[in-house]
C-alpha cells in the first residue's frame, strides 16, 4: 500500500461526500425544490420498480432491489451523508486501502446520481411546481436535457462494480456481530443514520441467494431502461 494511493482515495472520498452534502442543501434549503424533489423521487421509484417485478417476487431479491433504488434517490439519505462527512477523519485514517477506495467510489456514485436526479427534477418543474401527473414522455425529455446515455451507463457500471466489491464483505467472519456491537456507540455519537445504513445494507446483501446473478440482472436491466429513456422515439412514449 502506497501513501499516495491512500491520499488519493481519501481526497476522493472527501471531495464527493462534500459534493453530495452541497447538493442536499440545494433542495433542503429551498421549500419548492424540496417539495418537487420529494415528489419526483417517489415517482421515479414507482417508474423503475416495475422493470424488476419478476426479480422482486424471488426470495431475497425484493429487499435488495428496494434498498438499492431507495438509496439512489430519496431525501432520507441526506442524514446518512452528513454522518459520513462528519466521520471522514476516522474513515480516511482507519479503513484499509481497499475499503477506503470502495467507499470513495460509493461517494462518487452517490454524488453523481444525486446531481443528475436534481437536474431532471428541475427540468420537469421548469421553474415552478412539478406537474400533478408526470408522464414517461415528460420524464424522458427531462432526462435528455439533464444528462446523457453515456453518463447514465457509466453510473450503472459504477453501481454494479460496487456491488461486486460488497459481495466480498458478506462472508467476512464476525462482521455482522461487529456491526450490531457498534449500534449503541454509533447512535450515542450521533451517527445513527450511518449505522442503520450499514446494518441494513449488510443484512440485505446476506439474504441474496445468488449475488452474481442479482448484480448481472441489475446491470443489464438498468442499461436497457436508460437505452429506452435516451433512444426511444418520443412519440412512442406519449
| Residue-wise pLDDT tens digits, 205-232 | 778 888 889 889 999 999 999 999 999 9
- CA-nearest of 21, 16, 19 to 83 is 21
| Claim: this prediction has a pTM higher than 0.75 | yes
Q: What is the pLDDT of residue 111?
A: 92
- CA-nearest of 158, 172, 178, 156 to 222 is 156
**Between 181 and 25, residue with greater pLDDT:** 25
Q: What is the pLDDT of residue 190?
A: 59
- CA-nearest of 148, 153, 151, 116 to 37 is 116
Is 189 a residue whose pLDDT tops 80? Answer: no
Three-state SS for 130?
A: coil
Q: What is the pLDDT of residue 149?
A: 97
Q: How confident is the model at residue 121 (pLDDT cuts 50, 70, 90)?
A: very high
pLDDT for 62-91, tens place per residue? Answer: 888 887 777 655 666 888 888 888 888 877
200 exposure class (CB count in 10 Å sphere: 0-12, 13-18, 19+): middle
**Between 190 and 99, residue with greater pLDDT:** 99
Three-state SS for 48?
A: helix
128: left (phi over 0), alpha (psi -120 to 50) or beta: beta
Question: How far apart (Å, rounded) are the C-alpha atoms in residues 227 and 150?
Answer: 10
Q: What is the rounded average pLDDT of the residues 21-50?
A: 92
pLDDT for 38-66, tens place per residue? Answer: 999 999 989 998 999 999 888 888 888 88
Produce one character per residue of 35-68: b if its CB has 16 or more CB atoms within 10 Å, e if not: ebbbbbbebbeeebeeebeebeeeebbbbbbebb
Q: What is the pLDDT of residue 103?
A: 80
Phi, psi values for residue 55, rounded to 5°:
-65, -35
Is 8 a residue whose pLDDT tops 70? Answer: yes
pLDDT for 130-180, tens place per residue? Answer: 999 999 999 999 999 999 999 999 999 988 887 787 777 666 655 565 566
Q: What is the pLDDT of residue 141?
A: 96
Q: What is the pLDDT of residue 227?
A: 96
Q: How confident is the model at residue 31 (pLDDT cuts 50, 70, 90)?
A: very high
Amino acid at each position: 500500500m502506497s501513501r499516495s494511493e491512500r491520499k488519493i482515495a481519501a481526497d476522493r472520498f472527501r471531495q464527493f461526500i462534500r459534493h453530495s452534502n452541497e447538493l442536499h442543501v440545494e433542495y433542503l434549503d429551498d421549500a419548492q425544490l424540496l417539495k418537487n424533489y420529494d415528489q419526483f423521487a417517489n415517482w421515479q421509484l414507482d417508474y423503475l420498480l416495475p422493470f424488476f417485478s419478476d426479480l422482486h417476487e424471488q426470495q431475497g431479491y425484493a429487499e435488495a432491489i428496494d434498498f438499492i433504488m431507495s438509496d439512489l434517490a430519496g431525501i432520507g439519505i441526506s442524514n446518512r451523508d452528513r454522518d459520513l462527512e462528519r466521520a471522514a477523519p476516522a474513515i480516511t485514517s482507519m479503513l484499509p486501502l481497499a475499503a477506503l477506495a470502495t467507499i470513495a467510489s460509493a461517494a462518487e456514485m452517490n454524488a453523481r446520481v444525486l446531481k443528475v436526479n436534481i437536474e431532471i427534477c428541475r427540468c420537469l418543474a421548469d421553474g415552478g411546481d412539478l406537474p400533478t401527473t408526470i408522464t414517461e414522455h415528460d420524464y424522458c425529455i427531462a432526462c435528455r436535457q439533464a444528462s446523457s446515455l453515456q453518463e447514465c451507463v457509466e453510473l450503472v457500471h459504477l453501481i454494479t462494480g460496487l456491488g461486486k466489491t460488497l459481495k466480498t464483505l458478506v462472508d467476512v467472519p464476525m462482521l455482522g456481530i461487529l456491526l450490531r456491537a457498534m449500534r449503541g456507540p454509533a447512535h450515542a455519537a450521533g451517527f445513527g443514520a450511518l449505522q442503520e445504513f450499514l446494518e441494513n445494507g449488510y443484512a440485505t446483501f446476506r439474504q441474496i441467494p445468488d449475488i452474481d446473478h442479482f448484480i448481472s440482472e441489475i446491470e443489464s436491466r438498468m442499461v436497457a431502461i436508460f437505452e429506452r429513456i435516451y433512444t426511444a422515439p418520443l412519440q412512442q412514449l406519449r
